[in-house]
């Protein structure tokens, strides 16, 4: 049931962001790479645009990563670092292409005051596959809590 609430909340955040788009043509499609399971211990916001960067990330974390065609795509990596319990996540509400920048909008979600959570260290990390766009990236990530 808790997962359904999180999904509904994420959908509401996404729908809230849609009317705020100045020009819907600026929206950039993306998809989450969900099967990676990599735990990044340090907070990071970065864009990986080459195979060398991708392999370096895999080597530093002693893992294998899925094949990505970096001639057509890039990967946006967002990680919060270690969190003290379960229930933390990252929600990306949209990626927009401006004249000079690529803007990544989203939320660092945490459980609300009355939410039950497991007392385990977690490492919320999100990998986003998107078309390759050679612009500097600005991250607009806000903290938010969901209620249980």
Q: What is the pTM of this model?
A: 0.81
Confidence band (pLDDT; 50, 70, 90) for 36?
Answer: confident
User: Alpha-carbon distance 99 to 12, whole Å?
Assistant: 28
Picking from 56, 47, 54, 59, the residue whose alpha carbon sits closest to that of residue 69 is 54
- Please report the pLDDT score of residue 93 as a whole number: 94
User: Residues 19-35: pLDDT tens digits?
Assistant: 444 455 588 999 998 77
Chain centroid to Cα 101, Å, comes to: 18
Confidence band (pLDDT; 50, 70, 90) for 18?
Answer: very low
Please say whether the beta carbons of 27 and 92 come within 8 A. no
User: Residues 64-113: pLDDT tens digits?
Assistant: 899 999 999 999 999 999 999 999 999 999 999 999 999 999 999 999 99
């Amino acid at each position: 049931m808790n997962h359904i609430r999180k999904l509904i909340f994420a959908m509401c955040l996404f729908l809230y962001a849609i009317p705020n788009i100045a020009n819907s043509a600026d929206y950039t499609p993306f998809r989450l790479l969900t099967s990676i399971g990599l735990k990044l211990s340090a907070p990071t916001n970065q864009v990986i645009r080459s195979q060398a960067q991708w392999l370096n990330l895999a080597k530093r974390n002693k893992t294998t990563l899925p094949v990505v065609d970096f001639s057509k795509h890039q990967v946006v990596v967002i990680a919060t670092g270690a969190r003290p319990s379960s229930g933390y996540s990252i929600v990306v509400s949209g990626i927009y292409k401006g004249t000079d920048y690529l803007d990544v909008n989203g939320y660092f979600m945490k459980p609300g005051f009355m939410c039950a959570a497991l007392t385990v260290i977690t490492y919320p990390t999100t990998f986003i596959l998107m078309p390759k766009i050679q612009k500097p990236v600005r991250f607009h990530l806000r903290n938010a809590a969901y209620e249980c």
